[in-house]
Amino acid sequence: PDASMVVPRRSRSTTPLQALNLLNSRFVMQQADHLAKRLQAASDHPSEQVQQAWHLCFQRPPSQQEVAESERFIESHGLQQFARAILNANEFIFIP
């Protein structure tokens, strides 16, 4: 939205460029690396790493489906990419 316009409520404030910046920013990649190292230090088991990630980032336990999908993602792309995805999730970025 145009920040110079005075409106009581803005309907949307994200743009595709904003999302791409969050996904690819050096800061987010660094934080994803820190989160991945923290998860590795907590456990060697992907299911426990997923549980810990959900607890730290979303303050809730993951569903069985979320655990299964996350484990498959970690197996395919690695723990650091999983951490990067978690840090870019709407549930992490936006407060409901």
| pLDDT tens per residue, range 24-80 | 889 999 999 999 999 999 999 999 999 999 999 999 999 999 999 999 999 999 999
Handedness of CA 67, 68, 71, 72 (dihedral sign): negative
How does residue 92 score in pLDDT terms, banded at 50, 70 and 90? confident
| pLDDT at 68 (0 to 100) | 97
CA distance 26 to 42: 24
Q: How far apart are CA 94 and CA 47, in angstroms?
A: 25
pTM metric for this prediction: 0.78
